[in-house]
Amino acid sequence: MFSIIINSTIIYWATALDLLILLAILYVRFDKKSHLSITLGQIIGSTALVVVSLFFAVILKLVPEEWILGLLGLIPLGLGIKYLFWGDDDDDEELDELLQKRKNKSLLGTVIIISFASCGADNIALFTPFFMTLSPSNLILSIFIFILNILILGLLGKTISKIPHLHEILEKYSRWILAFVYIVLGIMVLIESGTLSKIISLF
């Protein structure tokens, strides 16, 4: 149980670093009256990512050959290599563009979009194979840990916004953390599903 708590926390926070930086920027740019909308938007958008990942995990579990499912491990592995050698996109520029496009629309809706879309595909690609490796009881525990960390993320984003230049430091090193966690998870899924041994046996 302890390992599930640790693994779920590490995986969530590895994928949440980009969003944490964006949240800190949003808390700085908007006044305190808007902070509740930012917090709620982040919670809704982040929870939606977990729900979508869980949906895909349940559907893909119906595939009879587990080693075939293990091929999903290639997705986080590939993303980890991408972050390692080519880095991440410029989130600040994308945030500016989105805020400009939606300047006359609901901030709550905007933050939901930011939380879901800023690294949505990456999160789903990471969460789905991880959820698939868990037993039903461990999956329930993992989802609880994810939700708990989603709530903590909003509070931490507000705290970081009060510390000058801290989000810039996080942005500088997030690439390496992302790369490490994605690569490790990809390899873990390939091994635990038997996909790696199946591929090796073909040669």
Please spell the DSSP secondary structure of 60-81, one letter per residue: HTTSS-HHHHGGGGHHHHHHHH
Residues 6+ apart with CB under 8 A from 66: 193, 194
3-state secondary structure of 165: coil
Q: Above 80 in pLDDT, residue 54?
A: yes
pTM, entire model: 0.71
Amino acid (1-letter code) at residue 51: V
pLDDT higher at 111 or 176: 111
Q: Report whether 43 contacts 150 (CB < 8 A).
A: yes
Q: Mean pLDDT across the chain, nearest whole number?
A: 77
Q: What is the pLDDT of residue 177?
A: 67
Cα–Cα dist 119/174, whole Å: 13
pLDDT higher at 37 or 87: 37
Q: What is the pLDDT of residue 103?
A: 65
Domain count of the chain?
Answer: 1
pLDDT tens per residue, range 116-168: 876 666 778 778 888 887 888 999 999 999 999 999 988 888 887 777 766 56
Task: Write out the residue range of the structural domain in which residue 121 sits.
Answer: 1-202
